[in-house]
Amino acid sequence: MPIWMGDVAGVLRAATKILGEISDSPRLDAELLMAHALKMERADLLLKLPELAAPAEFSALLERRRQSEPIAHIIGTKEFWGLDFIVSSDVLIPRPDSELLIGEAVRLFAAQHPQRILDLGTGSGALLLAALNEFPAASGLGIDASTAALQIAHNNADALGLADQSKFLLLDWTLPDWTGPLGSGFDLVLANPPYVSTNAQLSADVAEYEPHRALFAGEDGMDDYRIIIPGLENLLSPTGMALLEIGFDQADEVSELASDNGYHIELKKDLGKNDRLLILRR
C-alpha cells in the first residue's frame, strides 16, 4: 500500500476504488476516514475539498478499513438518532435499523411521556440515551453483562449531558431471578438482544470485530427472547410497553412466544421493508 498523499480529491478517488472491494459504501468510507485524519467534520471536508492536502495518517486508516475493520471502530464514534456515540470492539455498533425503536417510542408516547425507561443489553447506551434525549423528564436504567460495555455507556451519558437521567447496572439475564435487582414499573422497555443464529455466516467486519456475546443466541437465535419475554411481567408497569428488535426472519417465532406469555403484539418493518420490531403490550 503506497503512502496516500497529495490533493484530497485525487486520494479520495483512489481510496474509493480500493474500498469498493470490501465495502457497500466505499466513497462514504473514504470521506469519513479522510475527515478523521484531518480532524474535521465530513461536511467541512466536502466544502474545502479543492484546498486540502491528504495527511500521511490517512494511509494507515485506509489499510485498517481494507482489512474489514468497521469505520466506527477506526474513528471511534458512530452517529445514532442524530447523536454521536463512542464505540469500540466491546459494544455493537449502533445500526440505522435500530432507530426504528426510538421512532416508535416517540410515536407511542407522544401524548404521555414515559417516566421510567429500561434498556436490556445497553451496550454503548445508544437506545437508552437516545430515548432519554427525547424524553427529558424520564429516568433510565441500562443493564449489560459486560463491564467494558458499561464503561462506554457511562462515557456516552457524560458526553451527551444525560448522566443525571441515566444509571447503568452490571447484570446477566442468564442468571436466576435476573429481574429482581431491577424492580418494576417501567413504562418503556427497550431491547436489542442477541438474535443471530450460531450457524449464520456474517460479514468479516461483523464476525471479526464485534462482540460475539452480543450477537449470537443459539442455533435458532431465540435463546435470549426465551429469557427476556417471560421476564417482562416483572418489569413493565400496567400500561407499559416493550419494544424488541428482531431478526428479519424471526417475527413469527418471537410473536408466538410473546402471545403465549399474554402480550398483544404489533409488528413494524424497517426502511428495507424487513420485519424489525415487535411492540408488546399486556
N-terminal to C-terminal alpha carbon distance within the chain: 58
How far apart (Å, rounded) are the C-alpha atoms in residues 214 and 145?
A: 10
Q: Are strands 264-269 and 275-281 parallel, antiparallel or unpaired?
A: antiparallel
Residue-level pLDDT at 160: 98
- Which of 249, 248, 236, 247 has the alpha carbon at shortest distance from 280? 236
Residue-level pLDDT at 6: 75
- Which of 41, 58, 53, 66 has the alpha carbon at shortest distance from 10? 53
Cell of 113: 411521556
Max Cα distance, the chain (Å): 63
Cα–Cα distances (Å) from 233 to 110, 122, 189, 230, 239, in that order, read 24, 20, 11, 6, 12
Residue-level pLDDT at 71: 97
pTM for the structure as a whole:
0.94
Residue-level pLDDT at 4: 60
Residue-level pLDDT at 1: 41
Under a CB-based contact definition with an 8 Å cutoff, are residues 230 and 261 in contact? Answer: yes
Residues of the chain with confidence (pLDDT) below 50:
1, 3
3-state secondary structure 81-135: CCEEEECCCCCCCCCHHHHHHHHHHHHHCCCCCCCEEEEECCCCCHHHHHHHHHC
How far apart (Å, rounded) are the C-alpha atoms in residues 205 and 216?
A: 15
